[in-house]
Chains A and B, each alone.
Chain A
Amino acid sequence: MIDITVICALLIVLGIILYVILDGFDLGVGIIFPFAPDEASKNKMMSSIAPVWDGNETWLIYGGGILFAAFPIAYSILLPALYIPLMLLIFALIFRGVAFEFRMKEKKSRWIWDYSFTFGSTLAAFSQGLILGSLIEGFEVENMQFSGGSFDWLTSFSITTGFGVVFGYALLGASWVILKTENQTKEWAKNITKPLNFILGLFVMMVSLKTPLQYPEIADKWFSFPNFFLLLPIPLITFFCWLKIFDSLSKGRDLQPFIFTVAIFILSFVGLGYSLWPYIIVNNLTIWDLAAPAKSLQLVFITLMISFPIVLGYTLFVYKLFKGKVLEKDSYY
């Protein structure tokens, strides 16, 4: 008998991973945007993400929407707890989302929207990091209701993960720019990829140490025998990918830096997911405690089974349409 609660939860996690990678690279382009060498590079960077950012961001709505549909209790506990960082995220996404449309309409006022684009992208990444950090630290819950204060999410750890996500997305963005552009734009992106990769390595290590140190249960999951040996590939492959980024840069590869960055993100997620599973509220409430009644879960399950592959299919189709280096003719309208 398959447990559809588990499948729904896994599909939400998959959606979040897709979100982090897809919107991650376009938010990242926004973060490194002001440092681009010239106006032409900026326009190319913008053109490389303009046709796809809408679809990328939809995975965030997916995350919220399916969490609400399959785990309404989790939704009703987490969202009030995360009120302020969520509002920051929402406002950040507003500023950067409209920048796409507005900056292309007129040259004179373009600088306003360039600022708005970078500000929004950076703040969005930072607030996602805040949310990630506070999810790892957990929340006070009484009677299936959030019972903590308005600022419980604000800790030195969540601020650290905030910066971690900003640098991580910047790395994704830079390696995306390597993939999508040529000449000096690409050279510039390669130059900033190295230090960004170094910084991301530090943050990944920090979060990987923090979780087992704070929660003995999680430490046990990782370091007991035989788990330790079974799980050892996760950190090892992550480390390998990290090294390969430096390596592929010096060999002048275009696609590899992006692929290995994505791999680091996926592996970090798998590791984190393994640590927290099956809890949604750390060490307190599991996916089964917070799931919707069977009749609702079944509808969500059927919907996802049918539509998830279709969505993936046409998303891939659209990416294929716009694949390759950015062309001059791809400019707006």
Chain B
Amino acid sequence: MEILNSVELLSRIQFAFTVSFHIIWPTINIGLGLFLLILEISWLKTKKIEYLNLYKFWVKIFALAFGIGVVTGIPLSYQFGTNFSIFSNMAGPIIGPLLGIEVMTAFFLEAAFIGVMIFGWNRVPKSVHLFATIFVVLGTHNSAFWVIAANSWMHTPQGFEIIDGIIHAKSWTEIILNPSFPYRLAHMLTASYISVSLLIAGVSAYFLIKKISIETAKKGLSVSLLVLSFLAPLQIFLGDLHGLNTKEYQPAKIAAMEGLWNTQKGAPLVLFAIPDEENEKNKYEIKIPKLASFILTHDFDGEVKGLNEFKKEERPPILPVFFAFRTMVGLGVLFFLIAFTGIILRFRKKLYSNHIFHKLCMICTPLGLVATISGWWVTEIGRQPWLIHGVLKTKDALSPVKPEVISISLLSFIFVYCLLGISFLYYASRLVKKGYNFEKNEDWLKVATHTTHLTTKNSKND
């Protein structure tokens, strides 16, 4: 097979596969950490046992996801060197320090305090435990900030000069606050919060259907849908801003996303099509006239660049970008509708009794993560053939490694990550089946609440 001889394709597939699998876990942890913090504060303030139950349940999922996030993150930090050594050599002076700051301000913070968060209940006072949660949340957000700064710089590089083939930094402020960074950061953080809202809503809905831990489940569903009804519309707005930014700096990506071949005024919005790269046209096209122009230029007759504007070797692969974009946007609209329905049901006092809606929430449990991955595929495949836009192409960035060696490591990654994914689903589903019915005589619960009697009684009833 041709793929097996191409260091470029193999390296790209390996990086794409490992990073796609990895992004699931930080997406869960960024949002879930914040959710846990809110729960802990609510519990400390109100002393309502539902909040503590929710914390206790979700911190287990958090710990599972965190463990997988750590071990699948290490391959990424090393793959820059093992598979893209020319890139590391050339762009190391920019990317290296940014990732170094990430390590120092995020990874250590998370790793040190997650131990306290999980195991510390019997060892520290409540206030120290709260600070541990705060530090972990700070860590996940710092991590997102720096890694997205580095990633965004590769999409919209600035503040540098090239001397003897090496990229030198000129202004760190310009590098960090590069044009696409604020949009990408906001879009990603919101994606994470939405994904976690859907996760919690889905699991809570399952409990309501199965009639386990009903009071706690109600709280979970209520809070998560409330958050979703703010964030779903916000995300559509942020996505639009991000798109406008991309149109300015990476027009080829936008053309691939929209499935537009020819530059035109009053460009239509292609709802569905099968782009035909060979003949440079769309098959089975369903479109709404002028809408793409309106969305991208806020003018029905605005001009949008088509793919033909770019040489064939300067275009990203159209099919995956085109379909991933539709998956992301479609799901975004679905989440908006779910949030809207939730509001209506809440006003009609049917939020906790409408099982059809609960089933819908259950179906949506993993879809926030699917939308997030799709979004990353759009932006990352869409930047090809460039690794650093306008500066370095992927094909010129590779390591002097044999394709056979990469094939073996790629296959191993696929095998091991499938095992990891299956194990996670197995243990997470076991946790969910147990529900919020925690075993009796649990030490930390007693110590943590200092109201032993009341607590055990409540948690039995719940």
Contact = CB atoms under 8 A, between A and B. Distances in A.
B423 A296 contact: no
B263 interface: no
Contacts of B74: 57, 60-61, 64, 90, 93
A58 B108 contact: yes
Interface string A51-88: 11011011011101110111011011111101110110
Contacts of B95: 68
A315 B108 CA distance: 8
Nearest to A56: B111
B169 A58 contact: no
Nearest to B110: A54
Contact of B93 (A77, A95, A295, A329): A295
12 contacts: A55-B115, A68-B81, A68-B95, A70-B100, A79-B78, A79-B85, A80-B81, A93-B71, A102-B64, A292-B92, A293-B169, A295-B172
For the complex of A and B, the 8 pairs showing the least CB-CB separation, nearest first, are A72-B92, A79-B81, A51-B115, A69-B100, A69-B96, A76-B89, A54-B111, A307-B104
Contacts of B166: 293
Contacts of B78: 64, 79, 86, 90
Contacts of B224: none
Query: Which residue, A50, A93, A101, has most C-beta atoms of chain B within 10 A?
Result: A101
Contacts of B75: 90
A166 B419 CA distance: 26
A268 to B, nearest CB: 25
Interface in B116-159: 116, 118-120, 122-124, 135
Nearest to B128: A321
Q: Which of A76, A79, A307 has the most CB of B within 10 A?
A: A76
Contacts of B390: none
Contacts of A54: 66, 70, 110-112, 114-115
Nearest to A304: B104
Interface string A310-323: 01001100100110
Interface string B380-419: 0000000000000000000111100100010010001000
B392 to A, nearest CB: 13
A58 B412 contact: no
Contacts of A58: 103, 107-108, 111-112
Given A76-B81, A76-B86, A97-B71, A55 B96 contact: no
Contacts of A296: 92-94, 96-97, 168-169
B67 A145 contact: no
B433 to A, nearest CB: 12
Nearest to B85: A76
Interface in A290-305: 292-293, 295-296, 299-300, 303-304
Given A72-B89, A146-B400, A50 B119 contact: yes
A150 interface: yes
Contacts of B112: 54-55, 58, 311, 314-315, 318
A146 B123 CA distance: 50
Interface residues of B, number: 76
A333 B82 contact: no
A61 B431 contact: no
A64 B76 CA distance: 11
B77 A83 contact: no
B85 A145 contact: yes
Nearest to B65: A101
Contact of B89 (A70, A82, A144, A307): A144
Contacts of B103: 58, 61-62, 65-66
B92 A57 contact: no
B97 A318 contact: no
A295 B159 CA distance: 12
A274 interface: no
A240 interface: no
Contacts of B102: 65
Given A77-B85, A95-B416, 5 more contacts: A58-B112, A68-B95, A79-B399, A101-B427, A293-B93
A147 interface: yes
Contact of B409 (A61, A78, A87): A87
B68 interface: yes
A69 B99 contact: yes
Nearest to A68: B96
Interface in B39-81: 56, 60, 63-64, 66-68, 70-75, 77-78, 80-81
Contacts of B91: 72
